[in-house]
Amino acid sequence: MQNWMKMRPAIVAVIAIALGSPIVIFAQAPHYDLLLKGGHVIDPANHIDEVRDVAVFQGKIAAVEKNIPADQAGKVVDVSKLYVTPGLIDIHFHVGHGGAPLDWFSPDARAHFIPLGIPADLALQSGVTTIVDAGTSGAETFLQEKEEVIDHARIRVLAFLNIVANGMNGGLEQTPDQMDAKLCADTIKKYPDLIVGVKTAHYWTKEPVDAAHALWTAVDRAIECGTVANVPVMFDFWPRPERTYADLILKKMRPGDIHTHVFAQQFPILLEDGKLNPILTEARARGVIFDVGHGAGSFWFRNAVPAAKQGFIPDSISTDLHTGNYTILSMNNVMSKFLAMGVPMDDVIRRSTVNPASEIRRPELGTLSVGKDADIAVLELMHGHFAYIDNGVAKMNANVQLTARMTVRAGRIVYDPSGLSMVEWEKARPQYFSTPDRGDSLPAKADDYPRD
Ligand SMILES: [Zn+2]
């Protein structure tokens, strides 16, 4: 960080003499490091949905007000005609490789799945500043994920711990002995700053029932861990006649538990007559949370569109990004689908910020409240001809698209591909035009604002 950013702005008193009397004039140095000026601020946690300026100082939100003078900030960014929202939160993401072997193609590897995780910082491209790894790792593999990914990411990475100690894709997801509720809870208690919940997924989806695999084992052990550790459980679930979706959301899940992949093909979202299945409303009334978790196989327009039309919108919007879908999916893409389905902008933002923050019990995130980390998304809502696809290889035409223009994480500009915060090159300061000698410490850049 540059020295000028560390200094509390000095108030310089200038004594002037006028008409023979001493008058004190205050000339102020900049109050703020960064000022996003003229954007439409949507901050559902603070009920703000109007044009405001957002000021940042020392990595924290310093003010969200109308007409903050430009001369009060070291760097001013014109964000008029754009939306300014809290940094988005994607609570279903995959980083690291869980239990999958890095050398996954070696003949003696237990599983031959490509590791699920993708680079955490890719999410910054969508204005996301917090991702939650959805159970890629378990108790035996979490430390590796922490050391290899979480500790080095610019984006904030939290995690749901897989009830399977080895994690996902290591070939042990169908092994009940791996589902040790005590080991799971002990691990969560060891990393309370990073682990926000438990995840269960992919268990005994179609295999014939046998004595070694009770159908509810993964669900029951995950809930046991969540209860002991006092955290929510996220469920990836496959219903079968002996293990129904109604049983999951009406009997097994506790208030605050999260069903992800809600619009996947396997769930009875609609009744035969096209009406919304009342079990969803009933589950909601008892505190069950529904999450999108789009992924490579969990989003069908035939479920999502009629449900949205009947007022059932998932509580949180998330991607389930992993190596199997990152080329076509992003947080902005999933949010755009909900805008295209008629969900209003402020509601889409709510379900991508304050709602997920509350689901993972991190109310300090997903807001632009003064004093909180300056995690900010600058978004553009474009109108034109667009189309979106689902996992059933069907498409939907639309006239809106949301795209991130700039991402700020703890006050640092971490994504600004169109140079919103930058000067036109012809107008750059002299050192930009210099050719530094080897070892010259002067960076030949157009400004000194902290960027990554
Ligand atoms: Zn997932």
Question: pLDDT (tens digit, 9 = 90+) per residue, 190-227?
Answer: 999 999 999 999 999 999 989 999 999 999 999 999 99
Per the listing, tokens 């689901």 go with 359
Measured in Å, residue 329 CA sits from the centre of ligand 1 at 13
Task: Tokens for 216, please give them.
Answer: 């509810």
Task: Tokens for 16, please give them.
Answer: 């002037």
Measured in Å, residue 148 CA sits from the centre of ligand 1 at 19
Measured in Å, residue 295 CA sits from the centre of ligand 1 at 7
Measured in Å, residue 290 CA sits from the centre of ligand 1 at 14
- 172 close to 147: Cβ distance less than 8 angstroms: no
Query: What's the confidence (pLDDT) of residue 112?
Result: 75
CB atoms within 10 A of CB 64: 20
Tens of pLDDT, residue by residue over 114-136, are: 789 999 999 999 999 999 999 99
Query: What's the confidence (pLDDT) of residue 312?
Result: 98
Tens of pLDDT, residue by residue over 65-115, are: 999 999 999 999 999 999 999 999 999 999 988 888 777 777 777 777 778
Phi and psi angles of residue 295, each rounded to the nearest 5 degrees, phi first: 60, -160
Measured in Å, residue 429 CA sits from the centre of ligand 1 at 47
Measured in Å, residue 111 CA sits from the centre of ligand 1 at 18
Query: What's the confidence (pLDDT) of residue 13?
Result: 37
Measured in Å, residue 320 CA sits from the centre of ligand 1 at 5
Task: Tokens for 289, please give them.
Answer: 């949370």
Measured in Å, residue 172 CA sits from the centre of ligand 1 at 16
Could you give the percent of the chain with pLDDT greater than 70?
92
Measured in Å, residue 268 CA sits from the centre of ligand 1 at 20
Per the listing, tokens 């036109």 go with 424
Measured in Å, residue 316 CA sits from the centre of ligand 1 at 14
Measured in Å, residue 113 CA sits from the centre of ligand 1 at 14
Mean pLDDT of all residues in the chain? Answer: 92
Residues forming a β-bridge with 409: 412
Measured in Å, residue 170 CA sits from the centre of ligand 1 at 14
Measured in Å, residue 326 CA sits from the centre of ligand 1 at 12
Measured in Å, residue 427 CA sits from the centre of ligand 1 at 46
Query: What's the confidence (pLDDT) of residue 103?
Result: 75
Measured in Å, residue 44 CA sits from the centre of ligand 1 at 27
Measured in Å, residue 257 CA sits from the centre of ligand 1 at 16
Measured in Å, residue 93 CA sits from the centre of ligand 1 at 6
Measured in Å, residue 425 CA sits from the centre of ligand 1 at 42
Tens of pLDDT, residue by residue over 140-178, are: 999 999 999 999 999 999 999 999 999 998 899 999 999
Query: What's the confidence (pLDDT) of residue 397?
Result: 98
Measured in Å, residue 134 CA sits from the centre of ligand 1 at 6
Measured in Å, residue 246 CA sits from the centre of ligand 1 at 21
Tens of pLDDT, residue by residue over 293-340, are: 999 999 999 999 999 999 999 999 999 999 999 999 999 999 999 999
Tens of pLDDT, residue by residue over 333-381, are: 999 999 999 999 999 999 999 999 999 999 999 999 999 999 999 999 9
Measured in Å, residue 48 CA sits from the centre of ligand 1 at 32
Measured in Å, residue 86 CA sits from the centre of ligand 1 at 24
Query: What's the confidence (pLDDT) of residue 109?
Result: 78
